[in-house]
Amino acid sequence: MKILKLFTVGALLLAGISSTLSAQELGQLHYRVEAGATLSKISSLGLDHLGDRGTGLVNFRVGGSLVMPFEHTAFSFAPGLYLIGRGEKQSDDRSGGRRPLAKLETYALQIPLDLSFRLITFAEDHRIFFNLGPYFAYAVSSKLTRGGEVVSENPKAKAYTKSYDMLSNGHIKRFEFGLQASAMYQWKQLYLRGGIEASAFNQLKLWVPGSVAKGGSASRYIMSYITLGYEF
């Protein structure tokens, strides 16, 4: 039912964007490539059953987008394709420092559908943009690790391994829909972007006995990022 809801929302958004594009005359197309760092967390997630006390995980975001400017306006449409890394780390655990801290690391292919507004242009080569839009993502990897030690100390548990696959064991949803916003400074062809994004729906399906506990509310990815890019 939730997957149907996700695709319904996506179809409505795409229909709205398509009708907007068809009503506008497009200018010269541009392409962007960018890469940078992410800082993420997962809400309502307890690693090692310590409640929602994890710390942010630093990872990366890399990809590119197609820039479709609307003629005689300050707006443009910029769909893209990115590989993003997200997750969460433990802040402490119940072993009193005896065991390494756990880490949940997920990688996904993401398609953002940004509507970009040029806020200001000064000295010809300097521009500031605000970007807002939905995104769709497909998880390709999700691993739970504990610094080279087994995730769970129980030899009978599935997580009695150094790298527990959250996707193949059905704990993380593959499909994701969310919203993101970013600000961008551009100088000539170079640009610096900073943004935030969050899942719209719950992404954690099941808890991992002895390792991961799910809180009462939805577990969503929450991520901030900063990237450098080039437009051509």
What is residue 71's predicted lDDT score, i.e. its pLDDT?
86
Q: Residue 112 above 50 pLDDT?
A: yes
What is residue 231's predicted lDDT score, i.e. its pLDDT?
94
Whether residue 212 contacts residue 164, with contact meaning beta carbons closer than 8 Å, is answered with no
State how far Cα 26 lies from the chain centre. 29
Residue 227's region, left for phi above 0, alpha for psi from -120 to 50, else beta, is beta
CA-CA distance, 189 to 44, in Å (whole number)?
40
What is residue 51's predicted lDDT score, i.e. its pLDDT?
63
CA-CA distance, 58 to 47, in Å (whole number)?
17
What is residue 6's predicted lDDT score, i.e. its pLDDT?
47
What is residue 16's predicted lDDT score, i.e. its pLDDT?
53
Tally Cβ neighbours within 10 Å of residue 135: 22
The alpha-carbon radius of gyration of the chain (Å, integer) is 20
CA-CA distance, 165 to 179, in Å (whole number)?
26
Average pLDDT value over all residues in the chain: 85
CA-CA distance, 87 to 60, in Å (whole number)?
11
Whether residue 178 contacts residue 199, with contact meaning beta carbons closer than 8 Å, is answered with yes
Going from N- to C-terminal start, the domains of the chain cover 26-231
CA-CA distance, 57 to 40, in Å (whole number)?
5
Tokens 């800082």 map to which residue?
39
Whether residue 140 contacts residue 107, with contact meaning beta carbons closer than 8 Å, is answered with yes
Tokens 């820039």 map to which residue?
67
Task: Please count the residues of the chain.
Answer: 232
Q: What is the percentage of the chain residues whose pLDDT exceeds 70?
A: 80
CA-CA distance, 128 to 145, in Å (whole number)?
40
Tally Cβ neighbours within 10 Å of residue 51: 12
At residue 2 the predicted structure's pLDDT band, cuts being 50, 70 and 90, is very low
What is residue 47's predicted lDDT score, i.e. its pLDDT?
72
Tokens 């729906």 map to which residue?
201
The pLDDT tens digits for 15-45 are 455 445 544 677 889 999 999 999 999 988 7
pTM for the predicted model, two decimal places: 0.84
The pLDDT tens digits for 132-184 are 999 999 999 999 898 888 877 778 777 778 898 999 988 899 999 999 999 99
Q: Residue 7 above 70 pLDDT?
A: no
Q: Report whether CATH 2.40.160.20 matches the domain 26-231.
A: yes
